[in-house]
Amino acid sequence: MESSSRFLVSLSVLLGACASTGPAPVEDLNGGSSRVAARETPARATTSARSYQVQRGDTLYSIAFRHGLDFREIAAWNRIGAPYTIYVGQTLRLESPAAAPASRTTAVATTRPSTTAKPVASTAAPSNAPREAAPAPFEPLENTPPPAPATSADASTGSATTVAPKSATNVATATPPSTPVSANPAPPAPVAPTTPPADAVATVGEVGWRWPADGTLVGAFVSGDQTKQGIDISGKSGDPVRAAADGTVVYSGNGLVGYGELVIIKHNASYLSAYGHNRKRMVKEGDRVKAGQVIAEMGSSSASRDSLHFEIRKNGKPANPLDYLPRR
């Protein structure tokens, strides 16, 4: 009887210990646990401050655009080659594997001087050596005697004859009078300012840029302001939105918060352009477009008014579009 009591006590203690301990962690060597964790996180949350988990509809270009990075950097850090295919649930590194704040600062400090031209050693006299001031041009030197009058020999008498210098009066009478010039000439006729045609192009960065919409500029670029990384062009719903330059559509969707219906075009290895707040997108990823081609209809998605939000990114960084577009 006593042994049975001891057994029951031991059993109750063991059961109590098991109840106080959570379920044992299960590790899925095939990556299942990471997919489960992904379902518990918000749709657009990043795994950490410097990494990102790919969601449905993402492209490498849209991820780079969202984080202000160059798509080539993300590809290199994650060993992704062209055509830059990524997969839903994939975790991408958003910084160099060996990057740290101190090391990045050092790298910049050590590489920057190489891009600066080195000064060439001067062979001139030291800067503290006395220098003789040069006389002002067209001014006679002080204490310099006037030149002696020229003489010519008389062939018949052998005597020297002094040649009188020409006076200003002689020169004036010998020279035919010139056409008088009015002291107050009439100003040229004013030229009326002209507005460049809608298809005007400005070539910057080996890209021919043109305005993507015909409306009025209502929002300006502000460097460093995350809410003003481009310009806003007013219009009405349905107005055409055109490609600002030749290129390839690398994103067409609505997955970037704050941009609404968005189109991103890659123009070359350095430049992207983005077109946000559209009512309707008329191109898809992979389409080749020409400058001036209609790619969307203006709208107000994610905006308070009908307008086009237009951005230019150079190597992943926002640039002022007015530095690239033709002057209006």
pLDDT at residue 182 in the model: 52
Per-residue pLDDT of the chain (328 residues; tens, 9 = 90+): 555 555 554 555 444 444 444 433 333 333 333 333 333 333 344 445 689 999 998 999 999 999 999 999 999 999 999 889 999 999 999 998 876 554 444 433 333 333 334 443 444 444 444 444 444 443 444 444 555 544 444 434 444 444 444 444 444 444 444 555 556 656 665 544 445 566 789 999 999 999 999 999 999 999 988 889 999 999 999 999 999 999 999 999 999 989 999 999 999 999 999 999 999 999 999 999 999 999 999 999 878 889 999 999 999 999 999 999 999 8
Query: Could you list the residue range(s) of the whole structural domain that residue 61 is in?
Result: 32-93
Taking the C-alpha atoms of residue 209 and residue 245, their distance in angstroms, rounded to an integer, is 5
Q: Does residue 275 form part of some domain?
A: yes
Assign residue 39 the CATH number of its domain: 3.10.350.10
Confidence (pLDDT) at 36: 31
Supply 193's token pair. 């300012």
Number of domains comprising the chain: 2
Q: Is 169 helix (H, G, I), strand (E, B) or coil?
A: helix
pLDDT at 328: 83
CA distance 41 to 316: 27
Q: Is residue 182 included in any domain, yes or no?
A: no
In degrees to the nearest 10, what's the CA dihedral of 284, 60, 291, 228?
110
Q: What CATH number is associated with residue 239? A: 2.70.70.10
